[in-house]
């Protein structure tokens, strides 16, 4: 094995760390109770050691190739852009195993849990995508898996609950608060504190206390590393614009990461505009948020004038969260990234555009990024090259789309 591998086992790791307290500028950090300090520090030490270890990196890369199906393809959407002169490329995370980018991070964190000698993993899930990815990684690596899920989310996502159970995970219903993602995260953290000797917490996005925002970004940055090389191969140059949807922000950080040092590449995150940009009706933190702390990190937060966290709404469960990854808030504050929103109706239009013209059913989350391009395609110059991250597949969303459009099964296209 070449000795350079021992210095830099993978270009994904260690290239842009926050400061030693986990801050990206004024965002990030660690806002945790006393009881979590020791486990979070142990996790940080273990992660910083693992990412320098060629054996850990080699096993991760092997599983990404043979189990997840990486690299995922880059596909040029020629039908959707016919006559516009714009070249639109789609990074196909929808084709990763389990149908979304979340598996990249779940495998990485589950490998780390096993390396730390843990036998049990806890995770939170909203719509169930991160829960399914974590249950999958745990089945593969022989770890016990407990997924906390709000009671209301369990009712809405019964199929994903069953998928997790088939993979051998225990899904625990959370009846506190609004019975959704926010409450599931609280319960998962409580379990972790109580069982820390045996248990790791696998967090699903670039959120939470340091080191999670860094670690999850690094596990997801394989998306951008692949896409950058694939763009150079397919178009002979870098894209002018990279677009990704932003819930917590992990698929967007994953694809942006490779382009942050390329000043010619604009980076755009698309948030959920929901029904309207009014309190409780959306999840566009960059449109209506202010700095605040939630779940262990300081970032932009949708809150009222007293600092109470506001309810959120989006047609896509994966974007429906009141805060956003702290690195996004920082990159926006220094002007490197920008953010816009797409409302529920426009997202459904974007879904239909790519479904009918390209034969791809994107997730409703990803449809927000796609819809942004659809809405702005006339403003691009001929020859512009746009890259969109298709974070996941839409099979999970077909029932909610059908309900929303009030469709009977008639055989007529929508
Ligand atoms: C969970 C999810 C998202 C939102 O999470 P990020 O951390 O913002 O990427 C987006 N798309 C899909 C398909 C998801 O499952």
- Per-residue pLDDT of 112-157, as tens digits, reads 999 999 999 999 999 899 999 999 999 999 999 999 999 988 988 8
Tell me the pLDDT band of 9, cut-offs 50, 70 and 90.
confident
Pocket test of ligand 1: the residue of 90, 322, 365, 389 to mutate, having most ligand atoms within 8 Å of its CB, is: 365
Q: What is the pLDDT of residue 2?
A: 43
Ligand 1 atom at minimal distance to the Cα of residue 93? 13
Domains of the chain, each with CATH number or no CATH:
22-66+102-216 (3.40.50.1100), 69-99+221-405 (3.40.50.1100)
Q: What is the DSSP string of 42-72?
A: HHHHHHHHHTT-HHHHHHHHHHIIIII-PSP
Ligand 1 atom at minimal distance to the Cα of residue 207? 7
Ligand 1 atom at minimal distance to the Cα of residue 130? 1
Catalytic residue among 124, 187, 226, 281: 124
Residue 403 has pLDDT above 90, yes or no: no
CA of 251 to the centre of ligand 1 (A): 6
Residue 7 has pLDDT above 80, yes or no: no
CA distance 369 to 292: 26
Q: Ligand 1 atom 15: the closest Cα is on which residue?
A: 129
235 and 89 Cβ atoms separated by less than 8 Å: yes
Pocket test of ligand 1: the residue of 100, 104, 133, 321 to mutate, having most ligand atoms within 8 Å of its CB, is: 100
β-pair partners for 393:
362
Of 245-254, 278-287, 396-405, where does mean pLDDT reach its minimum?
Answer: 396-405
CA of 364 to the centre of ligand 1 (A): 10
Residues with CB under 6 A from ligand 1: 100, 102, 129, 205, 245-252, 318-319, 363, 365-366, 391-392
Q: What is the pLDDT of residue 117?
A: 98
Catalytic residue among 102, 118, 182, 396: 102
CA of 11 to the centre of ligand 1 (A): 24
CA of 406 to the centre of ligand 1 (A): 26
> Which of these, 414, 107, 369, lies nearest to 256 by C-alpha position?
369
Q: What is the pLDDT of residue 320?
A: 92
Give mean pLDDT, residues 343-358. 97
Ligand 1 atom at minimal distance to the Cα of residue 205? 7
CA of 122 to the centre of ligand 1 (A): 19
**Structure-block tokens of residue 320:** 């429906």
Q: What is the pLDDT of residue 410?
A: 58
Q: Ligand 1 atom 2: the closest Cα is on which residue?
A: 318
How far apart, in Å, do the first and last CA atoms of the chain sit? 56
Residue 355 has pLDDT above 60, yes or no: yes
Give mean pLDDT, residues 63-71. 98
Pocket test of ligand 1: the residue of 136, 250, 366, 395 to mutate, having most ligand atoms within 8 Å of its CB, is: 250
Q: What is the pLDDT of residue 3?
A: 40
- CA angle at residue 241 from 287 to 83, to 5 degrees? 110
Any alpha helices (H) in 117-237, and if so which ranges?
A: 129-141, 151-156, 158-166, 181-194, 212-220, 222-235
β-pair partners for 148:
124, 172
CA of 318 to the centre of ligand 1 (A): 5
Of 82-86, 124-128, 238-242, 405-409, where does mean pLDDT reach its minimum?
Answer: 405-409
Residue 5 has pLDDT above 50, yes or no: no
Q: What is the pLDDT of residue 406?
A: 74
CA of 389 to the centre of ligand 1 (A): 11
Residue 414 has pLDDT above 60, yes or no: no
Active site residue 365: no
Of 181-185, 291-295, 372-376, where does mean pLDDT reach its minimum?
Answer: 181-185
Ligand 1 atom at minimal distance to the Cα of residue 249? 8
Active site residue 391: yes
**pLDDT mean across residues, the chain:** 94
CA distance 161 to 172: 10
List pLDDT tens digits, range 307-345.
Answer: 999 999 999 989 999 999 999 999 999 999 999 999 999
Tell me the pLDDT band of 411, cut-offs 50, 70 and 90.
low
Give mean pLDDT, residues 16-43. 96
Tell me the pLDDT band of 273, cut-offs 50, 70 and 90.
very high
Helices and strands: H and E segment counts in the chain: 16, 14
Active site residue 102: yes
Give mean pLDDT, residues 386-400. 95
> Which of these, 180, 129, 123, 133, lies nearest to 154 by C-alpha position?
180
Q: What is the pLDDT of residue 178?
A: 83
Residue 105 has pLDDT above 70, yes or no: yes
Reported pTM: 0.96
CA distance 385 to 231: 9
Residue 4 has pLDDT above 50, yes or no: no
């Amino acid at each position: 094995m070449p000795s350079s591998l021992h210095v830099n086992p993978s270009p994904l790791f260690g290239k842009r760390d926050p400061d030693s307290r986990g801050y990206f500028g004024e965002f990030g950090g660690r806002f945790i109770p006393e009881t979590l300090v020791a486990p979070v520090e142990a996790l940080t030490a273990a992660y910083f050691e693992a990412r320098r270890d060629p054996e850990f990196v080699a096993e991760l890369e092997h599983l990404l190739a043979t189990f997840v199906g990486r690299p995922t393809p880059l596909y040029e959407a020629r039908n959707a852009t016919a006559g516009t002169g714009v070249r639109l490329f789609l990074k196909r995370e929808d084709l990763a195993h389990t149908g979304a980018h979340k598996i990249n991070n779940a495998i990485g964190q589950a490998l780390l849990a096993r390396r730390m000698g843990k036998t049990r993993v806890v995770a939170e899930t909203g719509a169930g995508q991160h829960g399914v990815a974590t249950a999958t990684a745990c089945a593969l690596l022989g770890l016990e898996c407990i997924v906390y899920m709000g009671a209301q989310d369990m009712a809405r996502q019964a199929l994903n609950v069953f998928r997790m159970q088939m993979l051998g995970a225990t899904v625990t219903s959370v009846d506190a608060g609004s019975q959704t993602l926010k409450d599931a995260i609280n319960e998962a953290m409580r379990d972790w504190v109580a069982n820390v000797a045996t248990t790791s917490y696998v967090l699903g996005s670039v959120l939470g206390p340091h080191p999670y925002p860094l670690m999850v970004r690094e596990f997801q940055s394989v998306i951008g590393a692949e896409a950058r090389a694939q763009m150079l191969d397919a178009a002979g140059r870098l894209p002018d614009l990279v677009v990704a949807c932003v819930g917590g922000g992990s698929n967007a950080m994953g694809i942006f990461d490779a382009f942050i040092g390329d000043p010619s590449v604009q980076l755009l995150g698309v948030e959920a505009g929901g029904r309207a940009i009014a309190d409780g009706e959306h999840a566009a933190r960059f449109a209506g948020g202010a700095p605040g702390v939630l779940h262990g990190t300081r970032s932009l937060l949708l809150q009222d004038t007293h600092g109470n966290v506001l309810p959120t709404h989006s047609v896509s469960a994966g974007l429906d969260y009141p805060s956003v990854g702290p690195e996004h808030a920082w990159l926006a504050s220094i002007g490197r990234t920008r953010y816009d929103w797409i409302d529920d109706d426009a997202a459904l239009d974007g879904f239909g555009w790519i479904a009918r013209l390209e034969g791809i059913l994107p997730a409703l989350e990803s449809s927000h990024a796609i819809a942004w391009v659809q809405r702005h395609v006339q403003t691009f110059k001929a020859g512009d090259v746009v890259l969109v991250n298709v974070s996941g597949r839409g099979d999970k969303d077909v029932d909610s789309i059908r309900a929303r459009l009030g469709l009977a099964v008639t055989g007529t296209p929508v």
